[in-house]
Structure 1
Protein backbone atom coordinates (compact mmCIF):
# COMPACT_ATOMS: atom_id res chain seq x y z
CA UNK A 1 0.00 0.00 0.00
CA UNK A 2 1.59 3.01 -1.19
CA UNK A 3 0.35 6.14 0.39
CA UNK A 4 -0.57 8.85 -2.03
CA UNK A 5 2.15 11.44 -2.15
CA UNK A 6 1.18 14.34 0.06
CA UNK A 7 1.23 17.75 -1.43
CA UNK A 8 3.17 20.22 0.61
CA UNK A 9 1.43 23.47 1.20
CA UNK A 10 3.47 26.51 0.60
CA UNK A 11 3.29 29.26 3.21
CA UNK A 12 1.18 32.17 2.04
CA UNK A 13 3.13 35.41 2.02
CA UNK A 14 0.15 37.74 1.72
CA UNK A 15 -1.11 40.20 4.28
CA UNK A 16 -4.79 40.31 4.99
CA UNK A 17 -5.64 44.03 4.75
CA UNK A 18 -9.36 43.80 5.44
CA UNK A 19 -9.00 44.56 9.19
CA UNK A 20 -6.84 47.61 8.36
CA UNK A 21 -9.46 48.88 5.92
CA UNK A 22 -12.15 48.46 8.59
CA UNK A 23 -10.11 50.46 11.11
CA UNK A 24 -9.40 53.20 8.56
CA UNK A 25 -13.11 53.52 7.70
CA UNK A 26 -14.02 53.81 11.39
CA UNK A 27 -11.36 56.49 11.88
CA UNK A 28 -12.58 58.36 8.80
CA UNK A 29 -16.13 58.40 10.16
CA UNK A 30 -14.92 59.60 13.58
CA UNK A 31 -12.93 62.45 12.03
CA UNK A 32 -15.80 63.43 9.74
CA UNK A 33 -18.17 63.66 12.71
CA UNK A 34 -15.79 65.52 15.06
CA UNK A 35 -14.27 68.01 12.57
CA UNK A 36 -17.29 70.36 12.49
CA UNK A 37 -17.40 70.35 16.29
CA UNK A 38 -13.81 71.56 16.55
CA UNK A 39 -14.26 74.73 14.50
CA UNK A 40 -13.06 77.71 16.48
CA UNK A 41 -13.92 81.33 16.43
CA UNK A 42 -16.74 83.64 17.28
CA UNK A 43 -19.91 84.09 15.24
CA UNK A 44 -19.71 87.56 13.72
CA UNK A 45 -21.68 88.92 10.75
CA UNK A 46 -18.95 90.79 8.90
CA UNK A 47 -19.78 93.73 6.65
CA UNK A 48 -19.62 93.01 2.91
CA UNK A 49 -16.77 94.77 1.12
CA UNK A 50 -14.15 93.94 -1.50
CA UNK A 51 -10.70 94.02 0.06
CA UNK A 52 -7.22 92.60 -0.43
CA UNK A 53 -6.43 89.53 1.73
CA UNK A 54 -3.35 89.17 3.91
CA UNK A 55 -0.40 87.69 2.02
CA UNK A 56 -0.12 83.92 2.50
CA UNK A 57 3.44 84.19 3.81
CA UNK A 58 2.51 86.57 6.67
CA UNK A 59 2.65 85.56 10.34
CA UNK A 60 -0.51 84.17 11.93
CA UNK A 61 -2.69 87.15 12.81
CA UNK A 62 -4.07 88.12 16.18
CA UNK A 63 -7.80 88.39 15.48
CA UNK A 64 -9.85 90.64 17.76
CA UNK A 65 -13.59 89.97 17.35
CA UNK A 66 -16.35 92.32 18.50
CA UNK A 67 -19.82 90.75 18.76
CA UNK A 68 -23.21 92.51 18.53
CA UNK A 69 -23.46 92.78 22.30
CA UNK A 70 -20.03 94.49 22.54
CA UNK A 71 -18.07 91.52 23.89
CA UNK A 72 -14.45 91.29 22.78
CA UNK A 73 -12.68 88.06 21.84
CA UNK A 74 -9.01 87.53 21.04
CA UNK A 75 -7.74 84.59 19.01
CA UNK A 76 -3.98 84.19 18.53
CA UNK A 77 -3.15 81.89 15.60
CA UNK A 78 -4.89 78.55 16.02
CA UNK A 79 -5.52 78.97 19.76
CA UNK A 80 -9.01 79.11 21.20
CA UNK A 81 -10.68 82.56 21.33
CA UNK A 82 -10.49 84.17 24.78
CA UNK A 83 -13.27 86.49 25.97
CA UNK A 84 -12.55 89.97 27.36
CA UNK A 85 -15.00 92.52 28.79
CA UNK A 86 -12.39 95.25 29.24
CA UNK A 87 -10.69 96.73 26.16
CA UNK A 88 -7.56 97.75 28.08
CA UNK A 89 -7.01 94.18 29.33
CA UNK A 90 -7.30 92.89 25.76
CA UNK A 91 -4.87 95.57 24.51
CA UNK A 92 -2.35 94.57 27.20
CA UNK A 93 -2.45 90.94 26.02
CA UNK A 94 -2.01 92.01 22.38
CA UNK A 95 0.89 94.30 23.35
CA UNK A 96 2.59 91.43 25.23
CA UNK A 97 2.21 89.19 22.16
CA UNK A 98 3.65 91.93 19.93
CA UNK A 99 6.67 92.22 22.24
CA UNK A 100 7.29 88.49 21.73
CA UNK A 101 6.72 88.65 17.95
CA UNK A 102 6.57 92.22 16.58
CA UNK A 103 5.58 91.00 13.10
CA UNK A 104 2.24 89.61 14.31
CA UNK A 105 -0.51 91.40 12.34
CA UNK A 106 -3.60 92.52 14.28
CA UNK A 107 -6.99 92.27 12.54
CA UNK A 108 -10.39 93.38 13.86
CA UNK A 109 -13.50 91.29 13.06
CA UNK A 110 -16.33 93.66 13.91
CA UNK A 111 -19.94 92.58 13.58
CA UNK A 112 -21.84 94.77 11.11
CA UNK A 113 -24.35 95.69 13.85
CA UNK A 114 -21.67 96.94 16.28
CA UNK A 115 -21.71 100.71 16.77
CA UNK A 116 -18.87 102.41 14.92
CA UNK A 117 -17.73 104.01 18.19
CA UNK A 118 -16.91 100.57 19.65
CA UNK A 119 -14.61 99.70 16.74
CA UNK A 120 -12.92 103.12 16.83
CA UNK A 121 -12.43 102.82 20.61
CA UNK A 122 -10.86 99.39 20.11
CA UNK A 123 -8.56 100.69 17.37
CA UNK A 124 -7.48 103.64 19.52
CA UNK A 125 -6.78 101.42 22.52
CA UNK A 126 -4.74 99.01 20.39
CA UNK A 127 -2.72 101.88 18.90
CA UNK A 128 -2.12 103.20 22.43
CA UNK A 129 -0.77 99.75 23.33
CA UNK A 130 1.82 99.92 20.54
CA UNK A 131 0.00 98.33 17.61
CA UNK A 132 0.81 100.71 14.78
CA UNK A 133 -1.12 98.94 12.03
CA UNK A 134 -4.61 97.48 12.55
CA UNK A 135 -6.55 95.72 9.79
CA UNK A 136 -10.31 95.37 9.42
CA UNK A 137 -11.76 92.04 8.30
CA UNK A 138 -14.67 91.89 5.85
CA UNK A 139 -16.61 89.33 3.86
CA UNK A 140 -16.58 89.54 0.04
CA UNK A 141 -19.82 90.90 -1.43
CA UNK A 142 -22.26 88.42 -2.91
CA UNK A 143 -22.02 88.24 -6.68
CA UNK A 144 -25.16 89.05 -8.66
CA UNK A 145 -26.19 86.57 -11.29
Structure 2
Protein backbone atom coordinates (compact mmCIF):
# COMPACT_ATOMS: atom_id res chain seq x y z
CA UNK A 1 0.00 0.00 0.00
CA UNK A 2 1.51 3.11 -1.11
CA UNK A 3 0.64 6.73 -0.51
CA UNK A 4 0.36 8.78 -3.72
CA UNK A 5 0.43 12.57 -4.09
CA UNK A 6 -0.03 14.14 -7.51
CA UNK A 7 1.26 12.57 -10.65
CA UNK A 8 4.39 10.49 -11.01
CA UNK A 9 6.51 13.14 -12.66
CA UNK A 10 8.86 15.04 -10.41
CA UNK A 11 8.20 18.50 -11.77
CA UNK A 12 8.30 20.66 -8.69
CA UNK A 13 6.41 23.91 -8.33
CA UNK A 14 6.00 25.68 -11.69
CA UNK A 15 4.10 28.78 -10.50
CA UNK A 16 5.27 31.73 -8.42
CA UNK A 17 2.88 32.94 -5.73
CA UNK A 18 2.53 36.71 -6.36
CA UNK A 19 0.28 37.59 -3.43
CA UNK A 20 3.11 38.20 -0.90
CA UNK A 21 4.92 40.32 -3.49
CA UNK A 22 1.81 42.44 -4.08
CA UNK A 23 1.33 42.89 -0.33
CA UNK A 24 4.90 44.10 0.09
CA UNK A 25 4.57 46.50 -2.85
CA UNK A 26 1.36 47.99 -1.42
CA UNK A 27 3.00 48.53 1.97
CA UNK A 28 6.02 50.16 0.31
CA UNK A 29 3.76 52.40 -1.75
CA UNK A 30 1.86 53.55 1.35
CA UNK A 31 5.13 54.26 3.17
CA UNK A 32 6.40 56.21 0.16
CA UNK A 33 3.22 58.30 -0.09
CA UNK A 34 3.21 59.13 3.63
CA UNK A 35 6.88 60.07 3.74
CA UNK A 36 6.69 62.05 0.50
CA UNK A 37 3.99 64.34 1.93
CA UNK A 38 5.90 64.83 5.20
CA UNK A 39 9.34 65.33 3.69
CA UNK A 40 8.21 67.83 1.05
CA UNK A 41 8.43 71.19 2.84
CA UNK A 42 6.20 74.11 2.00
CA UNK A 43 7.64 76.88 -0.13
CA UNK A 44 9.19 79.57 2.07
CA UNK A 45 7.97 83.02 1.07
CA UNK A 46 8.54 86.42 2.56
CA UNK A 47 5.10 87.95 2.04
CA UNK A 48 4.47 91.69 2.22
CA UNK A 49 2.47 93.18 5.10
CA UNK A 50 -0.83 94.98 4.48
CA UNK A 51 -2.86 97.18 6.79
CA UNK A 52 -6.15 96.88 4.89
CA UNK A 53 -8.87 94.76 6.42
CA UNK A 54 -10.28 91.92 4.39
CA UNK A 55 -13.89 92.59 3.48
CA UNK A 56 -15.82 89.39 2.91
CA UNK A 57 -17.91 89.38 -0.22
CA UNK A 58 -21.33 88.68 1.28
CA UNK A 59 -24.11 88.39 -1.27
CA UNK A 60 -27.30 90.32 -0.73
CA UNK A 61 -30.09 88.26 0.78
CA UNK A 62 -33.55 88.61 -0.74
CA UNK A 63 -36.41 87.07 1.21
CA UNK A 64 -39.30 85.88 -0.95
CA UNK A 65 -42.37 85.02 1.11
CA UNK A 66 -45.53 83.39 -0.19
CA UNK A 67 -48.49 83.44 2.18
CA UNK A 68 -51.49 81.11 2.28
CA UNK A 69 -53.46 83.34 -0.10
CA UNK A 70 -50.68 83.19 -2.71
CA UNK A 71 -49.51 86.77 -2.17
CA UNK A 72 -45.78 87.16 -2.90
CA UNK A 73 -43.58 89.45 -0.82
CA UNK A 74 -40.15 90.62 -2.04
CA UNK A 75 -38.52 91.35 1.32
CA UNK A 76 -41.45 93.37 2.77
CA UNK A 77 -42.99 94.64 -0.52
CA UNK A 78 -46.06 92.96 -2.02
CA UNK A 79 -45.29 92.13 -5.66
CA UNK A 80 -46.87 90.26 -8.56
CA UNK A 81 -45.25 87.39 -10.46
CA UNK A 82 -44.31 89.77 -13.29
CA UNK A 83 -42.69 92.14 -10.80
CA UNK A 84 -40.81 89.20 -9.26
CA UNK A 85 -39.45 88.31 -12.70
CA UNK A 86 -38.37 91.93 -13.32
CA UNK A 87 -36.65 92.20 -9.95
CA UNK A 88 -34.94 88.83 -10.38
CA UNK A 89 -33.64 89.80 -13.83
CA UNK A 90 -32.33 93.10 -12.41
CA UNK A 91 -30.73 91.31 -9.45
CA UNK A 92 -29.08 88.76 -11.76
CA UNK A 93 -27.33 91.61 -13.60
CA UNK A 94 -25.51 92.80 -10.46
CA UNK A 95 -21.88 91.70 -9.97
CA UNK A 96 -22.76 89.65 -6.89
CA UNK A 97 -25.97 87.75 -7.43
CA UNK A 98 -28.24 87.77 -4.38
CA UNK A 99 -29.13 84.73 -2.34
CA UNK A 100 -32.85 83.97 -2.40
CA UNK A 101 -34.43 82.82 0.86
CA UNK A 102 -37.83 81.29 0.12
CA UNK A 103 -40.42 81.29 2.89
CA UNK A 104 -43.66 79.59 1.95
CA UNK A 105 -46.76 79.14 4.06
CA UNK A 106 -47.73 75.54 4.67
CA UNK A 107 -51.15 76.19 3.11
CA UNK A 108 -49.82 78.00 0.01
CA UNK A 109 -50.36 76.49 -3.41
CA UNK A 110 -47.40 74.66 -4.87
CA UNK A 111 -48.16 76.28 -8.24
CA UNK A 112 -47.15 79.73 -6.94
CA UNK A 113 -43.88 78.39 -5.55
CA UNK A 114 -43.18 76.55 -8.82
CA UNK A 115 -43.73 79.74 -10.81
CA UNK A 116 -41.37 81.70 -8.53
CA UNK A 117 -38.72 78.96 -8.87
CA UNK A 118 -39.13 78.95 -12.66
CA UNK A 119 -38.61 82.71 -12.80
CA UNK A 120 -35.50 82.40 -10.61
CA UNK A 121 -34.15 79.76 -12.97
CA UNK A 122 -34.87 81.93 -16.01
CA UNK A 123 -33.08 84.87 -14.40
CA UNK A 124 -30.06 82.70 -13.56
CA UNK A 125 -30.36 82.96 -9.78
CA UNK A 126 -29.19 79.62 -8.44
CA UNK A 127 -28.38 80.39 -4.80
CA UNK A 128 -31.66 79.34 -3.19
CA UNK A 129 -32.48 78.49 0.41
CA UNK A 130 -35.76 77.25 1.81
CA UNK A 131 -36.54 78.75 5.22
CA UNK A 132 -38.46 76.69 7.77
CA UNK A 133 -39.12 76.77 11.47
CA UNK A 134 -37.08 74.62 13.79
CA UNK A 135 -38.95 71.94 15.69
CA UNK A 136 -38.03 71.23 19.26
Which sections of structure 1, spanning at least 5 residues, go unmatched? 1-56, 76-80
- Structure 1 equivalent of residue 106 of structure 2: 112
Q: Is the 8 A contact 1:62 1:94 kept in 2?
A: no
Please, which runs of 5 or more residues in structure 2 have no aligned partner?
1-56
1:97 to partner: Cα distance: 2.1
- Residues in 1 aligned to 2:88 and 2:64: alpha-carbon distance in whole angstroms: 9
Pairing 1:26-105 to 2, within 5 Å after superposition: 58-75=58-75, 81-84=76-79, 86-105=80-99
Q: By how many angstroms is 1:124 displaced? A: 0.9
Cα distance in structure 1, aligned partners of 2:125 and 2:59: 15
Name the CA shift for 1:129/1:119 in 2 (closer, same or farther; >3 Å): same
How far is the alpha carbon of 1:58 from its aligned partner?
4.0
Q: TM-score when scaled to structure 2? A: 0.52
Preserved CA contact (<8 Å) 1:123 1:134: no
Distance apart, 1:129 and its partner CA: 1.8
Alignment of 1:1-40 (within 5 A): none
On the 8 A contact 1:65/1:72 being kept in 2, the answer is yes
Question: Which structure is larger by alpha-carbon Rg, 1 or 2?
Answer: 2
Mapped partners of 1:59, 1:97: distance in 2? 11
SS at structure 2 position matched to 1:100: coil
